Structure 1
Amino acid sequence: MVNIRDRKVWLITGSSSGFGRCLIDSVLARGDRVIAAARSLESLKSLQGKNDNIRLLQLDVTDGPKIIKAKMAEAVTFFGGLDVIVNNAGTNFLGIIEEGGSAFLRRQFDVCFFGVMDVTTAALPYLRAQKSGTVIIIGSRSAWRPEFPVRIGSYASSKAAVHALAEAFSGELAHLNIRVLLVEPSAFRTGMFNSSGRMDGLMREDVIADYDQPRNAISNFWKTIPPPPGDPVKAMEAVVEVVKGEGVAAGRPWPTYLVLGKDAEKAILAKTEKLKMHLEEWSDVVRGVDFY
C-alpha cells in the first residue's frame, strides 16, 4: 500500500494518446494520482471511471494565459494540489519554412512553445507555495538536427526554443526546490509520428518550384520509413522512475536532461562533435575579437 503522503499528483497535457496515455498508465500503476488533460474531453472518454486516482480536464494549451490559469485553479481542486506538471501536448506542421511563412511558424510555436510557457507559469504559483514540485517538458532530438529531414524545420525550431526555456526555468526555480526535467526523445511509436504525413498541406502559403526536389524526396521518405524502434511505454516508465527516484534512477542525482533513444544519443553526439570541430578550427577567430 502506497503511503498517501508519498502519492504525487501529476497533471499531464496531451493525454489522449502517445506519450501522454502511456505516462498515465505508468503513474497510476505506482499509486499516484493523475489529472489527464486534453483539448477535448471526448478524446479522454475511455479513461472515465477507469480508476479512482484519475480526473479529466479539458485544456487547450493554445487558449492563452487567462483561460489556462482558470483551468489550473480547477485542476488543483481535484486532489487538493499539484506535484508534477508534464508538458506533453505537441504538434508537427510539416513544410518548407519559406513556403509556410511566419504564420505557420507561429501556429507551431503556439502549441510547442507558448503552450508550454502558459501551462508552466499557471502551475508555478502552486508549486512555489509548497516549495516543491517537478516540471517536465517533452522536447525532441529534432532540436539537435533541424536540417534533416527537410520539412521539420518549424517543429525543430519550436523544440530548440523550448529546450532553452526548460534550461532557463531550471535555473530560476532551483532555489525554490522545484525541479525541471527536459526529456529529449528519439522517434517513438506514438500517434504524432504516425500522423506526420497527413500534415503536408497545412504549412504552405506559396508553392516555390525551387523546393520541388526536396519536397518530393521527403514525401517519399515519410511514406517508406519503417516504424521507429522507440517503445513509448518504456520511455514513460523511465520518466516516472526519474521523478520518483526509483528503478533506473535510484541513487542517482537529478539529471535535468533525460535523453531517450539511440537516435537521440547519436544526434546529440554528432552536433556536439560538429561544434567542437568548429571551435578548434576557428579558435583564432573565436578568441581574437576581444578588447584584451
Structure 2
Amino acid sequence: MSSTAKIWLITGKCLRRRVCANESTVHCYLGASSGFGRCLITEILGRGDRVIATSRSLASLRALEGTDANLRLLQLDVTDGPDIIKAKMAEAINFFGGLDVLVNNAGANFTGILEEGGSAFLRKQFDVCVFGVMDVTTAALPYLRAKRDGTVVIIGSRSAWIPEFPGIGSYASSKAAVHALAEAFSGELAHLNIRVLLVEPSAFRTSMINAEGFFDGLKRKDGIPDYDSPRNRTLDLFNSFPPPSGDPVKAMAAVVDVVRQEGVAVGKPWPTYLVLGRDAEKAILAKTDKLKSHLTEWAEVVRGVEFEADL
C-alpha cells in the first residue's frame, strides 16, 4: 500500500435486496451495504486504500467479509444517537489506527403527501438523512481535527432542487437541510484543513430506486381525497420512468477521484459540490434560472424595502 493510502469510513442503511437481471453488476444494484456504498467500497479498495464499511445490519455486509485485507465491517445505525455513535466511531478508529475520509452515505426515502404524513413522517425522514449525518460527522470530527486534515463527504440529492414534485417533499426537504449542513460544515472546518464534499446525484441504478415499498407512502388507503389527483399523477409518472441512466460505478469513481485529487480532479481546485448526472444538472439550472427570473422581475420590490438613507 502506498504512502498516500487513505482510511475511509462509509455509512450505509440496510435495504431489501432485489435480484438483478445482470448478475455482473448486482453488487451495485443491491447503502455501505448496497447501491452507491457497495460501488464505492469496490472503487476505494481498487485504489489501495482501506475501508471501514458500516450498516445498520451486519447481515447485509456478510458477503464482503474476508474479501479484502484492507476492509473491515462494523455494525452502525446512524439513528442510534450521539453517545452510541461516538462509541462506535472509537471502535472504528481502532481497526486501522485512524481516519481520513468520512462518507455519509446512509439514506432512506419515505415518499408521501406532506399533510397526510404530518410531522411524524417528516421526523422519521430527518432522523436518518439529517440527524444521522450530524451525529456521525460530529463523532468523526475530533479525529480529523486532531491531525488537521481530512475529508467529509455527504451524499445529497437532486431532489433538494425539485421539492415541488408531489410525494417527495419529506425526502427533498431532508436533502435540502443536509445540503445546507454540508455548506455550513465547509465554512467552519476550512481553517482546520478539513474539506467537505457535497455530492448531488441524479437517479442512479441502485436499490434506493428499486427497493420494494418505495411508493408505499404515496399509496395510503386512508389518504386525503383532495390529494388523489397529484398522488395518481406522481404514481403514473414513477411507474412510467425508464431505468435511470446513471451508472453508480462511474459516479463513485468520480467521488474517489475528487477525494484523492486524481483522474478527473487533477488540476482542478477543491469543488465543494459534485453534481452527478444530467437530471441533476437540469434540475439545478432550472431552479437557478427561476430564482434569477424572480430577482429580475421583482428587482424594484427586492431593493425597495431598505431605509431611504441606505438606498
After TM superposition, is the score higher than 0.5?
A: yes
Question: Partner letter of residue 9 of structure 1?
Answer: I
Higher mean alpha-carbon deviation, 207-216 vs 254-263, is at 207-216
Question: Could you say if the C-alpha distance between residues 203 and 112 of structure 1 is closer, same or farther in structure 2, counting changes exceeding 3 Å?
Answer: farther
Tell me the CA shift for residue 225 of structure 1: 1.3
Correspondence for 1:158 among 174, 179, 187: 174
Which residue matches 1:173? 189
| Alpha-carbon distance in structure 2 between the residues aligned to 1:273 and 1:66 | 43
Structure 2 CA distance for partners of 1:203 and 1:53, relative to 1, 3 Å:
farther
How far residue 222 of structure 1 moved from its aligned partner, in angstroms, is: 2.0
Alignment-derived partner of residue 120 in structure 1? 137
CA distance in 2, matches of 1:133, 1:213: 48
Q: Are 1:44 and 2:42 counterparts?
A: no
Query: The residue matched to 1:258 in structure 2 has which SS?
Result: strand
RMSD of aligned Cα (Å): 1.4
Look up the match of 2:4.
Answer: 6
Number of aligned pairs? 289
Which residue is 2:117 aligned to?
100
Aligned to 1:218: 234
Q: Which residue of 2 aligns with 1:285?
A: 301
| Paired residues of 1:84 and 1:136 also in contact (CA < 8 A) | yes
**Mapping for residues 59-70 of structure 1, pairs under 5 Å:** 59-70=76-87
5 Å matches for 1:245-264?
Answer: 245-264=261-280
Does the C-alpha gap of structure 1 residues 101 and 128 become closer, same or farther in structure 2, counting only changes over 3 Å? same
Contact 1:113 1:161 (C-alpha < 8 Å) held by counterparts: yes
Distance 1:25 1:127 in 2: 24
Q: Structure 1 residue 224: deviation in Å? A: 2.2
- 1:39-93 CA distances to partner (integer Å, 9 max, x unpaired)? 0000000010000000001000000000000000000000000000000000100
Q: 2:45 aligns with which of 23, 28, 36?
A: 28
1:144-168 superposed Cα distances (whole Å, 9 cap, x missing partner): 11112x1011000000000000000
The structural deviation recorded for 1:202 is: 8.1
Overall identity of the aligned pairs, in %: 75
List aligned pairs for 1:126-205, cutoff 5 A. 126-148=143-165, 150-195=166-211, 197-201=213-217
CA distance in 1, matches of 2:97, 2:213: 41
CA contact (8 A) 2:10 2:102 kept: yes
**What residue in structure 2 maps to residue 272 of structure 1?**
288
SS of aligned partner of 2:198 = strand
Residue 223 of structure 1 and its aligned partner are, at CA, apart by: 2.0
Q: Which moved more, 1:51-60 or 1:189-198?
A: 189-198
Please state whether the residue corresponding to 1:254 is helix, strand or coil: coil
* Gaps in structure 2 of 5+ consecutive residues: 13-31
Q: Is the 8 A contact 2:113 2:218 kept in 1?
A: no
- How far off its partner does 1:6 sit? 1.0
Q: Distance in 2 between matches of 1:125 and 1:239?
A: 23
Give the conservation status (yes or no) of the 8 Å contact 1:100–1:206.
no
Task: Give me the whole-angstrom Cα distance separating, in 2, the residues matched to 1:36 and 1:255.
Answer: 25
Unpaired segments ≥5 residues, structure 1:
none
TM-score (norm 2): 0.91
- 1:231 is aligned to 247
Aligned-partner Cα distance in 1 for 2:217–2:160: 23
Q: Distance in 1 between matches of 2:297 and 2:181?
A: 30
